[in-house]
Amino acid sequence: MDPCHCSHTRPIDNPAPLPAGYRTGLGDVYMINESICIPFYDIFRQSPNLERTQYIQSSHSLLSVCSRQTATRHVDGRPCILMDYHEESYVRKIARKVCLVTTYSGHQMSTLPKICKEFSIPVSPSDAITAENEDHVHSSPRWSRENAWIIAWVFVTRRPLIRRMQAKREAGRPSENVFFSESTAEYLDAACMKLRTEWMAKCRKDPSLAGRYAKEFHDHRKVFAAAGASNYSLATQATCRTMRHSAYKPTRQNRTGH
């Protein structure tokens, strides 16, 4: 497992310097009550050539999750990586750029919707890190759960953060906050942008790609419910049908041919 020979993704001892007056920083890891479905719905909403009904379905699902007080079955929330600096306290409800971290409840990547593979980066230690697939990142201290994945899509959430994520406590040592170094967080941000650009290009080249992936994702309700996503995270086909006559306001990226 984890035959690591990387350099820029190795951890360093110190987190990114926190500017004066700021309380949370780039690469900090916090627990948050957020659904892993949110970044994927956001991906589909912004994908070129997505059909009208699927755009409505993804948009409704996104709004449904955002309006719920509880978006995950995990009592303590799930880990998220902060992708920016903020002056406000972590408990404030403000707009924050984050990436979510998940284990997909231990499901093999080959059994998950294809969109997950497009936008997942393993966190060391992981069985997914091989000589053929070395792309991964390290946290500091070492991530406590094996086979975790970062959903490599930066999105904005307004949910308050719950608490700092702490590493598994070892005998004789104080608890330590988990973080990703400044260089690792910057690498992750660049990787997210690269994957985003590649995905948009694929969707323009294959106009049916986003639609196929969106349908497959929505058909995997049980898998994501097992991964701790709230049942309200997933719009039903009936809900989609009731919205077909709703006002459709696609973003520029969703207009076919652009």
* Confidence check: pLDDT of 143 > 80: yes
Give pLDDT tens digits for 206-246. Answer: 999 999 999 899 888 666 665 555 443 333 333 333 333 33
Average pLDDT over residues 95-124: 94
Cα separation of the two ends of the chain: 43
32 Cβ contact partners less than 8 Å away, ≥ 6 residues apart: 77, 78, 79, 80, 98, 100, 157, 159, 160, 161, 162
The CA angle 105-222-241, to the nearest 5 degrees, is 140
Amino acid at the residue 21: G
Q: What letter would DSSP give residue 24?
A: B
Phi, psi torsion values for 45, nearest 5 degrees: -60, -30
Mean pLDDT confidence for 12-32: 87
Which tokens hold the place of 186? 């910057």
Lowest mean pLDDT among 191-195, 205-209, 212-216, 254-258: 254-258
Q: Is the pLDDT of residue 107 over 60?
A: yes
Higher pLDDT pick, 68 / 37 = 37
Q: Is the pLDDT confidence value at 149 over 70? A: yes
CA gyration radius, the chain? 18
Residues of the chain by 3-state class (helix, strand, coil), percent to 5? 35, 15, 50
Q: How far apart are CA 24 and CA 42, in angstroms?
A: 24
Average pLDDT of the residues of the chain: 79
**Would you list the DSSP string of 116-156?**
HHHTEEEESS-TT--SS----B--BS--SSSSEEEE---EE
- Of the pLDDT bands very low, low, confident and very high (cuts 50, 70, 90), residue 252 is very low
Higher pLDDT, 257 or 109: 109
Residue-wise pLDDT tens digits, 64-100: 555 555 555 566 789 999 999 999 988 898 999 999 9
pTM of the model: 0.80
Angle between helices 209-218 and 52-67 (to 10 degrees): 40
Please, are residues 102 and 145 in contact by the beta-carbon 8 Å criterion?
A: no
- Pick from 16-20, 27-31, 62-66, 240-244: least confident: 240-244
Pairing relation of β-strands 78-82 and 96-102? antiparallel
What is the predicted pLDDT for the residue at 179? 95
What pLDDT band is residue 41 in, cutting at 50, 70 and 90? confident
| Angle, alpha carbons 32-37-43 (nearest 5°) | 115
The tokens describing 112, both together, are 């998950």
- Examine the pLDDT at 163 and tell me if it is beyond 90: yes
Strand partners, 148: 123
Query: How does residue 61 score in pLDDT terms, banded at 50, 70 and 90?
Result: low
Nearest to 234 by CA among 61, 1, 45: 61
pLDDT at 147: 94
Per-residue model confidence as pLDDT tens digits over 120-132: 999 998 988 877 7
